[in-house]
Structure 1
Amino acid sequence: MVSLDGLDCGYGGARVLFGLGFEVMPGEVVTLMGRNGMGKTTTIRTLFGLLKPTGGRVRIRGRDMTGAPPHRIAAQGLGYVPEGRQIFPRLTVEENLVATARGGTAGGWTLERIYGVFPRLKERRGNLGNHLSGGEQQMLAIGRALMTNPDLLVLDEATEGLAPVVRAEIWSAIERLRADGLAILVVDKNLEALLRIADRHVVIEGGRVVWTGTTAELAADRSRATRHLEL
């Protein structure tokens, strides 16, 4: 689905990624883990064309999309839930969802299907985005990305700053999407939840991949991987 190969990227003269690479296969759930400031968000911004790499390649379905603008990346079937949610504050819940809708195959995402995953959004369909709680805004950000009918959903800090009960709702929704066969790349710090939902894990430190493996491999050699996640 997506292949990042030898990515170098940064901000101005400050380099953040150093030859970073990994893949996400169709229908696979992959986690991107690492301490704060290790390059996770930079990786995702580079994937979506929000940053242009100085080296390496971004391939989507085998097609070289390195440096392509974000709208072309999205058109390849990638949906983005950014850190900080970034919903439209002066649009209602339903307007936020409809604003990003893109036709897909039969059985694709519709308003009613979004409301089935997140009933709370249906209850607040007429509320403005800035009148929602943080958890509701995150549900809306996920729903908005799903309305583009993606083949790969990318979530940056999926449950950061949310109350435990809301985090549980978000993880339940992600598990449901996984069961539907949607490929997912997720950034989060909740290791136990990530172990439960993911097929493979990528750990980065200093803008480099320092460990990668399956959930079974992580469970068998947990200390080797998690030493890169500890403060």
Structure 2
Amino acid sequence: MSALLDIGSVDAHHGQLPAVRSVSLQVHPGDILALVGANGAGKTTLLRTVAGAHRASSGTLRWDGEDITCLPAHQRVARGLALVPEGRRLFAGMTVRENLLVARAAGRRGPWTLDTVLGAFPQLQPKLHARAGELSGGQQQAVAIGRALMTNPRLLLLDEISLGLSPLAVQGVYDALRGVVGQGTPLVLVEKDLQRVQAVATRIVCMLEGRVVADAPAAELSRAQITAHYFGAQRPESARTVHHAGSPGEASADNLYKVAA
């Protein structure tokens, strides 16, 4: 199965400091790919570089075979790439409805409309006319994901969606994501909860100091192996790189249902 997203030897910097170093990986239809690693491993910078919010210093980004390395973020959104950023980045003074509808500017058609987003996040229905800045953390995260869905993405990038939320709110967000996966939308998510990662992901990519040190099907990585890569106890040269093209829809949705078990 051909890759939807192909990242080839990408570097990214913050000033003179390297944050992403020669990262190469692919995302296939049906993937739920979890990026794990300690703070400063380069996970957020990699997501932002893919989305066009951060410039790649070198390397190539190919989207469905097209080189998008130099495309601005709004053109990537128009092609089906959507990022839910860390910290949500909502328009606090605008209503929930306005935050959701602004995403229609992407001009993409598909199954995600205001009605279907509210169906996935029913807790937002009574809050439609409330300002986003007045919502709870879990409600704000639902708006942020809903806004990204309103662009009808072909790939959804999720950065630390459980950060700062209560366990109940986190579970609610992941429950709603089952519907996203059921639509066949692949996910790339940054998540620190390794138990949740192993329950949700079809593939796990471990990053250390800006590099990919492991890329394998989730079923082939034990918690001990993930932890060893996480803290650098296992050398990058010993990592096995295995690309897994999971079947979209059913198989991926099953993984998300395991979270509630």
Partner of 2:41: 38
What is the rounded CA distance, in whole Å, between the counterparts of 1:72 and 1:52 in structure 2?
A: 14
Shift of 1:228: 2.9
Native 8 Å contact 2:82 2:157 kept in 1:
yes
Quick one: which of 184, 196, 201 aligns to 2:187? 184
- 1:175 and 2:178 correspond: yes
4+ aligned runs moved over 6 Å, structure 1? none
1-side partners of 2:231 and 2:43: how far apart?
A: 15
In structure 1, C-alpha distance between the alignment counterparts of 2:109 and 2:197, rounded to whole Å: 29
Q: State whether residues 51 and 67 of structure 1, in contact with CA within 8 Å, keep that contact through their aligned partners in structure 2.
A: no
Mapped pair 1:140 → 2:113: no
State the distance in 2 between where 1:104 and 1:7 align: 28
Name the SS for the 1:68 alignment partner.
coil
Amino acid at match of 2:90: I
Aligned equivalent of 2:61, options 36, 55, 58: 58
Contact (CA 8 Å) 1:154, 1:186: kept in 2 or not? yes
1:159 equivalenced with 2:162 (yes/no): yes
Return the alpha-carbon distance in structure 1 between the equivalents of residues 205 and 174 of structure 2: 19
Deviation readout 1:81-110 (Å, 9 max, x if unpaired):
00000001111001110111245445x111
Task: Identify the match of residue 97 of structure 2 among 94, 97, 102.
Answer: 94
SS at match of 1:228: helix
| 1:126 correspondence with 2:129 | yes
Displacement of 1:208 after TM fit?
0.3
The 1-side partners of 2:133 and 2:225 are apart by: 42
**Do the aligned partners of 1:171 and 1:193 also contact (CA within 8 Å) in 2?**
no
Partner of 1:225: 226
Deviation at 1:229, TM superposition (A): 2.7
Q: Which runs of 5+ in 2 are unaligned?
A: 233-261
Cα distance in 2 for partners of 1:105, 1:138 equals 23
TM-score, normalised by the number of residues in structure 1: 0.94
Aligned amino acid, residue 204 of structure 1: M
Any conservation in 2 of the 1:152–1:182 contact (CA below 8 Å)? yes
Identity %: 38
Q: Distance in 1 between matches of 2:128 and 2:72?
A: 31
**RMSD of aligned Cα (Å):** 1.5
Contact 2:52 2:72 in 1 (8 A): yes
TM-score, normalised to structure 2's length? Answer: 0.84
2:29 is equivalent to residue 26 of structure 1: yes
Q: CA deviation at 1:179?
A: 2.2
- Name the amino acid aligned to 1:54: S
* 1:225 CA displacement: 2.2
In 2, are the aligned partners of 1:175 and 1:197 still within 8 Å (CA)? Answer: no
The counterpart of 1:212, out of the listed 209, 212, 215, is 215
